[in-house]
């Protein structure tokens, strides 16, 4: 950084914070090689953004680019991230968002590849913070298709999966956006283990409503309410899959048909089916 362009305290802190978040993402395996990108608002009309083609684990504060909200580079020796269009779209749609983080955390991305959204009522912490984590439709990375896919969900969600690609999180500051990425990957790992074990108890509808009311008392700012109506089509709220119950707060998830209509069986159920089929042949 040239000594003729001294950094304001805010800007130098944000540059250092981006370096730190990139280091954590790489150390935790959320990105490989040069994957992923990070940006923050720098005042009303400028963004500070990671450059393209650098490993996020080994960045230095001087590498960042400054762009305007239309993506024109204002400062920086390197070109801004190849996913800049997606970041610009988020800032355009969400005046409250101060930072955007994109990565490819392997377990969450596995759900994105399998086409399974993280929208079941399973963990109270996830329900109160992120609500549900939908999957934005597949789009060719770095093209204008990706911002279009993200636009559908970004008004109501602070985190989403990107089909066959990765995950995207946003927040009121950089660390809040980054921690949501950690929450998504952690939730994906827990969901995967529960499904491998062959049983998943879900939080009931009534309990989900109770958790939603806690958002206010904990001061959690959510962009949209949780919605328990599966029929909602416009993605204007956070659609969560939670079963009805007569008093019980945890209800065994029905195995069988998933939200996409695909039939899913536990290992135990599949073994029983095979056993029965073999018996009937005898």
Question: Interface with Zn ion by CB under 5 A: which residues?
Answer: 166
Q: Which is nearer to Zn ion, 81 or 128 (CB)?
A: 81
For 57, 126, 207, 211, the CA distances from 121, given in Å and listed in that order, are 34, 8, 9, 11
Residues 6+ apart with CB under 8 A from 6: none
The CB-of-14 to Zn ion minimum distance in angstroms stands at 22
CB of 270 to Zn ion, least distance (A): 35
Tell which residue, 267, 120, 88, has the closest CA to residue 190. 120
Q: Who's near 276: CB < 8 A, 6+ residues apart?
A: none
Q: Closest distance between Zn ion and the C-beta of residue 165, in Å?
A: 6
Q: Measured in whole angstroms, how far is the alpha carbon of residue 163 from the centre of its chain?
A: 11
Q: Which is nearer to Zn ion, 158 or 207 (CB)?
A: 158
Residue 217 C-beta: closest distance to Zn ion, Å? 36
Measured from the CB of residue 125, what is the shortest distance to Zn ion in angstroms? 26
What residue is closest to Zn ion based on CB? 166
Q: Which is nearer to Zn ion, 41 or 87 (CB)?
A: 87
Exposed / middle / buried, residue 144 (Cβ in 10 Å: 0-12, 13-18, 19+): exposed
Q: With contact defined as beta carbons under 8 Å apart, do 111 and 161 qualify?
A: yes
Shortest Å, Cβ 141 to Zn ion: 6
User: Please, which residue, 166 or 243, has the CB nearer to Zn ion?
Assistant: 166
Long-range pairs for 4-8: beta carbons < 8 A, 24 or more residues apart: 5/75
State how far the Cα of 3 lies from the Cα of 112, in Å rounded to an integer.
45
User: Which CB atom, from 109 or from 204, has the smaller least distance to Zn ion?
Assistant: 109
Whichever of 25 and 240 has its CB closer to Zn ion, that residue is: 25
Q: How far is the CB of 272 from Zn ion (least distance, A)?
A: 41
Of the two residues 147 and 166, which places its CB atom closer to Zn ion in the complex?
166
Distance CA 50, CA 146 (A): 18
Instruction: Give the pair of three-digit tokens for residue 53.
Output: 């083609």
CB within 8 Å of 109: residues ≥ 6 apart: 161, 165, 166, 167
């Amino acid at each position: 950084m040239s000594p003729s362009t001294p950094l304001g305290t805010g800007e130098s802190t944000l540059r250092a914070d981006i370096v730190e978040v990139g280091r954590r993402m790489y150390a935790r395996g959320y990105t490989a090689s040069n994957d992923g990108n990070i940006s923050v608002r720098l005042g009303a009309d400028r963004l500070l953004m990671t450059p393209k083609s650098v490993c996020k684990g080994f960045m230095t504060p001087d590498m960042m680019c400054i762009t305007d909200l239309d993506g024109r580079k204002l400062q920086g020796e390197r070109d801004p991230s190849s996913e800049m269009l997606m970041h610009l779209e988020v800032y355009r749609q969400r005046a409250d968002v101060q930072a955007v983080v994109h990565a490819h955390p392997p377990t969450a991305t596995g759900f994105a590849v399998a086409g399974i959204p993280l929208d079941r009522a399973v963990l109270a912490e996830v329900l109160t913070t992120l609500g549900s984590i939908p999957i934005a439709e597949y789009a060719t990375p770095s093209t204008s298709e990706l911002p279009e896919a993200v636009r559908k969900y970004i008004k109501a969600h602070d985190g989403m999966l990107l089909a066959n690609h990765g995950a995207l999180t946003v927040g009121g500051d950089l660390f809040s956006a980054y921690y949501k990425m950690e929450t998504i990957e952690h939730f994906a790992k827990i969901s995967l283990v529960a499904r491998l074990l062959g049983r998943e108890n879900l939080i009931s509808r009534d309990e989900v409503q109770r958790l939603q009311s806690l958002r206010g008392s904990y001061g959690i700012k959510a962009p949209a309410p949780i919605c328990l109506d599966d029929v909602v089509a416009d993605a204007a709220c956070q659609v969560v899959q939670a079963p009805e119950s007569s008093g019980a707060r945890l209800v065994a998830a029905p195995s069988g048909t998933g939200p996409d209509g695909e039939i899913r069986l536990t290992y135990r159920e599949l073994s029983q089916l095979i056993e029965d089929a073999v018996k009937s042949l005898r």
